[in-house]
Amino acid sequence: MDFKGLSIDQAPPISAPVRFFVTAPIFGIIAGVLLLFSDSATLMSRYSIDAIVVTHLITIGLFGFIMLGALTQMLPVLASANVPKIKRLALFSYVTLFFGLLSMAAGLELSNSLLLWSASALLGVGFLALIVSMLYALKGVKHFTASIKGMFTSLIFAFMIVLMGIYLLYGYAEDDVTQLHYIVANIHSVWAVFGFAGILIIGVAFQVLPMFYVAPRFKQFCKKRVVILITTGLFIWMLLSIFADQYALYAKLWIATFFWAFATTVWLKFNKRKRPISDVTVWYWRLASISLTLGSFLWIYDEFFKHEYIVMVGIFIGGGFILSIMLGMLYKIVPFLVWFHLNALGYMTIPTINEMIDKRLARAQFVLFVAALIGFVFSFYMPQILTISAVLFIASMVLLEYNVLVPVKIYRRTKKTKPDFDMSAFSTK
Amino acid sequence: MTSNYIFILFHYNVEIILSGQNVNNIKEYLANDHRRCDDLFAQMEAKANSSLADTKELTEAFVADMERHFQREERVVFPEFEAKTGMLNGPTEMMRQEHAQMRNLMQQFFEAIEEDNKDKFFGIAETLMILLQQHNMKEEQMLYALMQQHLSAEAEHIIGMMDSLVVE
């Protein structure tokens, strides 16, 4: 019998997830600075080097780091799944991904094949080590809930998009960009957004919305079928886009419909939630619903306009939907982890999680983020506002970093003092 | 005051009976307890949002309900599980520690009401909510399933004891 998930001693140490959370906004800042110095015309092409670099600083650096940090924390709690040697593994992946992503950005910008080769090795090893260990840990879970199914499926997609990513980097390193490269790139991006991030968010929402906001539960149909229906849609879309591109639209419609339905469901669940609170995390969920709806429709609309709007779709779904959920979650998870670990160590007189991050600063960060998002959408038509949007985005990321660091500082400061209460009596060791 | 409290508990018990859940499964029984506490929690918060001074009764009801659930575990089902599996310092001990964390936090609700400090109240509520939910996830995802597995033969008897428990 394995009881490890139930013990704080063996749950991941606070450093494992928090290291990822503290680093994520830095990549956001770097992406913002790059946007500042990029030409808006080049950014409008999804295959331009600048667009690829900015996209990956955000998708790997921001989403990836936050998601992996959250997964190391959530798997033991949500799924009782224990990743063996999580402390060392998380550190290993953190270091390899950190340097891998920097090599990738530099390698692409300088077209340096040595950097690109090392990026592909570091990112590949860093991602696969963590993804494979998590899949292995989840495989042993006896009670497979809808949420765990979602996580498992999304990690399978993650596994595949990493393999595709390694292949794509090889193409740039060897200057061997063929027709196949673009086909793989297309699948890589759609699976990353809808397969990995999308399904992960849906899976987690099944559990998080009813529990933390006391919102009505999702219907059995949603919990049992939606993940498999989206997965099927993503596979059919892949086959069609390779072999019969003229019909790929139908698969897209299928996928977009479910995501739009999810966005609507989230909105309605929040309307019916029993808790009266309306903090910045609720606003982020609302923003995510709106952006996902707009993004899903635009993704279909874009099909009729020679993919002119695909970058805007990326802004809505990547920035408005995925990033919103990630940021909203950070505002809950970081203060909680600090409180939980300190409290378990016997510190009783510590600020509650609402007091750790200044509410006004959290709101200001949200407003800056929304302003940047709207700016990016409109810079599609008015290139001159790209600069100001990038500045707003950088400001929102700097403020995010500050907001995340404050609880971490409280943790460090408190640990230097003596606990109010000796909890060693409860220790199982 | 007390009558209101009794009414709330009565209301919830009737609801459980009416919902037709003929619960003879430990996992379901205790998970239902969790959902009931969640509902009371939400009611308490809704009340606090309009008037903190009037929240005392509901907070008392909520804390009492939580206490009853804790004791159902600590005094009935945990010892049974420990006796059966021989695991004295395992997951049940961890759950007791988290119960202690929650008890401590819940007492602070009354300080906040006394001081009429809404920010403090909602700060405690938010902290408790996350602590409570991750605790519930651990129990529902793993511990209750194990309990049901090991104690299925005695389930009916154990549920009977939990039902008739007098809170100390």
Contacts of B143 in chain A (CB under 8 A): 6
C-alpha to C-alpha distance for A223 and A145, rounded to whole angstroms: 9
For A44, the domain range is: 1-143
Q: Give the CA-trace dihedral at A104, A110, A112, A116, to 10 degrees.
A: 10
Q: How far is A211 from chain B (nearest CA, A)?
A: 6
Q: Residue A256: inside a domain, yes or no?
A: no
Give the pLDDT of residue A346. 82
- Averaged pLDDT, A176-188: 91
Chain centroid to Cα A291, Å, comes to: 15
Residues of chain B whose beta carbon is less than 8 angstroms from a beta carbon of chain A are: 38-39, 41-43, 45-46, 49, 85, 87, 89-91, 93-97, 100-101, 104, 119-120, 122-124, 126-127, 129-131, 133-134, 136-138, 141-143, 145-146
CA distances from A210 to A219, A263, A266, B39 (A): 11, 15, 11, 11
Q: Residue A75: inside a domain, yes or no?
A: yes
Contacts of A6 in chain B (CB under 8 A): 90-91, 94-95, 138, 142-143
Q: In this predicted model, what pLDDT tens digit does every residue of A324-352 receive, in sequence order?
A: 999 999 998 999 899 888 888 888 888 88
Domains contained in chain A, number: 1
Tell me how long chain A is. 429
3 state DSSP class of B162: helix
Q: C-alpha angle with apex A109: A108 to A112, nearest 5 degrees?
A: 60
Q: Residue A32: inside a domain, yes or no?
A: yes
C-alpha to C-alpha distance for B158 and B148, rounded to whole angstroms: 11
Q: In this predicted model, what pLDDT tens digit does every residue of A394-419 receive, in sequence order?
A: 999 999 999 999 999 999 999 988 87
Higher pLDDT residue, A70 or A80?
Answer: A70
Contact B146 A348 (CB under 8 A): no
Two tokens at A250?
A: 């139908």
Residue A105 has pLDDT above 80, yes or no: yes
Residue A32, number of CB atoms within 10 A of its CB = 23
Mutating which of A75, A149, A214 best tests the B interface, going by the most B Cβ atoms within 10 A?
Answer: A214
DSSP string over A154-169: HHHHHHHHHHHHHHHH
Q: In this predicted model, what pLDDT tens digit does every residue of A251-277 receive, in sequence order?
A: 999 999 999 999 999 999 999 988 877
ipTM > 0.95 (yes/no): no
**Listed range (A63-67, A229-233, A415-419, B74-78) with the worst mean pLDDT:** A415-419
Instruction: Please name the residues between 174 and 213 in chain A that touch chain B, using a CB distance below 8 Å.
Output: 207, 211-212
**Minimum CA–CA partner of B94 in chain A:** A7
Instruction: Please name the residues between 315 and 354 in chain A that touch chain B, using a CB distance below 8 Å.
Output: 332, 336, 339-340, 343-344, 348, 351-354
Q: How far is B112 from chain A (nearest CA, A)?
A: 12
CATH of domain B2-17+24-163: 1.20.120.520
Two tokens at B123?
A: 């700060």
Region class of A275: left (phi > 0), else alpha (psi between -120 and 50), else beta: beta
**Minimum CA–CA partner of A335 in chain B:** B127
Contacts of A339 in chain B (CB under 8 A): 127, 131
Q: B54, B47 in Cβ contact below 8 A?
A: yes
Contact B97 A343 (CB under 8 A): no
What is this structure's pTM? 0.86
SS (H, E, C) B65-97: HHHHHHHHHHHHHHHHHHHHHCCCCCHHHHHHH
Give the pLDDT of residue A427. 46
C-alpha to C-alpha distance for A333 and A337, rounded to whole angstroms: 6
| Long-range contact set of residues A292-295: C-beta below 8 Å, sequence gap at least 24 | A292/A259, A292/A260, A292/A262, A292/A263, A292/A316, A292/A317, A292/A320, A292/A321, A293/A260, A293/A263, A293/A264, A294/A320, A295/A320, A295/A321
Cα–Cα nearest to A3, from B138, B137, B122, B157: B138
3 state DSSP class of A174: coil
**Minimum CA–CA partner of B37 in chain A:** A214
Residue A221, number of CB atoms within 10 A of its CB = 9
**Chain B touched by A78 (CB under 8 Å):** yes
Q: Residue A232: inside a domain, yes or no?
A: no
